[in-house]
Amino acid sequence: MKQILQIGGRECLLYKRGEEPKVLLIQTLGAQERGSIDNEVAMISEATCTSFVMAAFAIGDWEVELTPWHDPAVSKRQAVGEHAGETLRYVTDTLIPYLHQEYGEIPIVLGGYSLGGLFSLWSGSESDCFAAIAAMSPSVWIAGWQDYASQHPVKSPYVYLSLGDREEHCRDKAIAQVGNNIRWEHEHLKQTLGEDNTTLEWNAGNHFVDGARRTAKGFAWCIDKVCQR
């Protein structure tokens, strides 16, 4: 079942699988995801027997709304890096209360792809609202990521990471750091969360291959972890 709603001034796509959902999935919805979200939700449904609700909330300006701090390699626009906190507050103060009122206070998984993955991973350190984080091809090449992650432990008990095996083989020197940083992040999470509570999955291809399938795999892993507790 799919609904298109306005929640707190943002467009949200709501998908419900099953009569009594056991977990809430929240995802950033940019222009790229709009064309594949239906297929992604179908793949999540195929991968798990657990009933769930997916809430994909619209992002108007991908860089401005999701980048946690300024990095000229992301964008030279000054506003980039100043508004991720507002986006997180929308999730925690508006979207989650609405979803809990509608479906009960069931566990929440936050996830996203690319900058949406970075935002999700960052949010997992900034808020304790999330039972799991799904960060697919997250932009952890952003300057200062390792310093931030070292000083701000993830508050979510489970974290899924993935990356395409060609993503670090690019000409952009900043983006090429994504491989080193995702490996570092995985090792860091294994130490802080435990090896069974995090994973790093490598997918064939570059950043622009099979985004919906990669995202579905991440959410399915998180569902299984959260609902086995």
135 vs 210 pLDDT, higher one: 135
* pLDDT tens digits, 13-66: 999 999 899 999 999 999 889 999 999 999 999 999 999 999 999 999 999 999
The stretches of 106-176 forming alpha helices (DSSP H) are: 115-126, 145-151
Q: How confident is the model at residue 164 (pLDDT cuts 50, 70, 90)?
A: very high
Helix/strand/coil for 166: coil
In the predicted model, what is the mean pLDDT of residues 133-159?
Answer: 97
Taking residue 32's Cβ as centre, other Cβ atoms within 10 Å add up to 15
**Bridging pattern class, strands 132-136 and 158-164:** parallel
- % pLDDT > 90, the chain: 93
> Strands (DSSP E) along the chain, which ranges?
2-7, 10-17, 23-29, 52-58, 108-113, 132-136, 158-164, 198-203
Token pair in block for residue 223: 């569902």
Average pLDDT over residues 176-196: 97
> Contact at 8 Å (CB) between 87 and 95?
no
Query: What string of H, E and C letters represents the secondary structure of 15-54?
Result: EEECCCCCEEEEEEECHHHHCCHHHHHHHHHHHCCCCEEE
- At 111-132, the pLDDT tens digits run 999 999 999 999 999 999 999 9
- Flag whether pLDDT at 229 surpasses 80: no
pLDDT per residue as tens digits for the range 56-102: 999 999 999 999 999 999 999 989 999 999 999 999 999 999 999 99
Using CA atoms in the order 203, 36, 25, 79, what is the torsion angle rounded to 10 degrees? 90
Categorize the per-residue pLDDT at 208 as very low, low, confident or very high, splitting at 50, 70 and 90: confident
pLDDT confidence tier of residue 214, bands split at 50, 70 and 90: very high
**Helices 211-227 and 37-47: crossing angle, nearest 10°?**
40
The pLDDT assigned to 153 comes to 96
Question: Helix, strand, or coil here: 13?
Answer: strand
Q: What is the mean pLDDT of the chain?
A: 96
pTM: 0.96
Q: How many CA atoms lie within 13 A of 76 on its CB side?
A: 0
